[in-house]
Structure 1
């Protein structure tokens, strides 16, 4: 049994070595786009490995989109595919349109999260939501930056769904998903008190509905909060 394990490990190392070697030759242009790789037998002789190692290395290159086997012809080098950027990495929080896009997406997810949280949250999760609510309301009232506290509240609600996909989504989009209270953060004293009071009241309504185990009210409160944010930013676009 031990001998088999060692043999398997050695083969995996040979596969990785051959895969990396061929990948480098493709990237360097030794094997140009559209050309055929050496045959399985040629690669076996050149690199002193088994046919199994060659096949596994070619399979790895195929999975990476670097080569394409063609029946009866051989294995051909493909043109590299454009790298797909990771989701939510090109968000520009200074652009109102980006803020609105995220708010629309958050509305689709977080309305349901609020409803589920109202039915599933544990006592410890309730306590965390209350503490997060207190922190964001105090930051808003004191006219201190509240983005992190706001994000923590929404994350706590997502966690209270007890479905790990909801907090994973919130964490993936990150704090940039929280709209800034004003475009000019350098002058927080200019934020109207009416705005602060409204945001705090909206957060209160969401949390009270969750704690009251009213899933319909929780969804409605979250929808009103995020739809209201969308409307406020759309009004800024019109100016």
Structure 2
């Protein structure tokens, strides 16, 4: 009986994440809400959340709740799923070998419209500190805009292929840690993105590559950082 109830709850929550009812970075209903809404036991709820975690659709943090992750893109057949912390670290290592060169080329080749797109994504990101889902969306838009400004379709298509799932979701972005820690984390991330934008605007390829490399290296460190309490 529990197995059937768990499967039903998993299917409903999975559908909510995939269709965007619960956006990436948003918190799922609490255990108590799911119990009351679906008439199931706490065991069923916890089993359902554990299954969604195994599928890479949910990340849970003690004391903070469970949050939706970016679902796989419908056309992502054949791409490697990003589920574990090790997967996310490996993806950042891959991006470190890719995006600094894209940023360098963007500094040399970007058009005024492409620079405006990078700036617009940066502004959206900077304004979304209180909205993890919006922050993730604008973060991806920023990196995609840089790749498009490189003038090399392989960079743009490569990032589009990875999709929003390439954006790491550190614990601070999921509401863990003290308010001061979360504010410092976000301010630092905005500062790093601004450095990339400014170097591209200044037509400084070495500076753009260096700023992108520093940002991705910092993202890798933050992924495993222990938030201050």
1:157 to 142, 146, 150: 146
After TM superposition, give the deviation of residue 131 of structure 1 in Å: 0.5
CA contact (8 A) 2:104 2:206 kept: yes
Distance verdict in 2 for CA 1:194–1:184, change over 3 Å: closer
CA contact (8 A) 1:114 1:219 kept: yes
Q: State the distance in 2 between where 1:183 and 1:119 align.
A: 34
After TM superposition, give the deviation of residue 194 of structure 1 in Å: 0.9
Gapped regions of structure 2 (runs ≥ 5)? 1-75
After TM superposition, give the deviation of residue 184 of structure 1 in Å: 7.3
**Does 1:122 pair with 2:111?**
yes
Partner-residue secondary structure (3-state), 2:97: helix
Q: State the distance in 1 between where 2:141 and 2:178 align.
A: 23
Residue of structure 2 equivalent to 1:196: 186
2:82 to 64, 85, 91: 91
Residue of structure 1 equivalent to 2:64: none
2:215 to 194, 214, 225: 225
Distance verdict in 2 for CA 1:186–1:200, change over 3 Å: closer
Q: State the distance in 2 between where 1:157 and 1:199 align.
A: 16
Gapped regions of structure 1 (runs ≥ 5)? 1-84
C-alpha RMSD over aligned residues: 2.1
After TM superposition, give the deviation of residue 188 of structure 1 in Å: 8.7
Q: State the distance in 1 between where 2:97 and 2:167 align.
A: 15
CA deviation map 1:158-207 (0-9, x unaligned):
00011111110001111111011427736697552111110010001000
Pairs within 5 Å for 1:99-178: 99-140=88-129, 142-145=130-133, 146-178=135-167
Q: State the distance in 1 between where 2:173 and 2:167 align.
A: 15
TM-score, normalised by the number of residues in structure 2: 0.60
Distance verdict in 2 for CA 1:224–1:87, change over 3 Å: farther
Partner-residue secondary structure (3-state), 2:174: coil
Q: State the distance in 1 between where 2:145 and 2:159 align.
A: 10
TM-score, normalised by the number of residues in structure 1: 0.58
After TM superposition, give the deviation of residue 90 of structure 1 in Å: 2.0
Q: State the distance in 2 between where 1:87 and 1:224 align.
A: 30
After TM superposition, give the deviation of residue 135 of structure 1 in Å: 0.5
Pairs within 5 Å for 1:8-23: none
Pair member with larger Rg = 1
**Does 1:206 pair with 2:196?**
yes
CA contact (8 A) 2:200 2:208 kept: yes
Number of residue pairs matched? Answer: 149
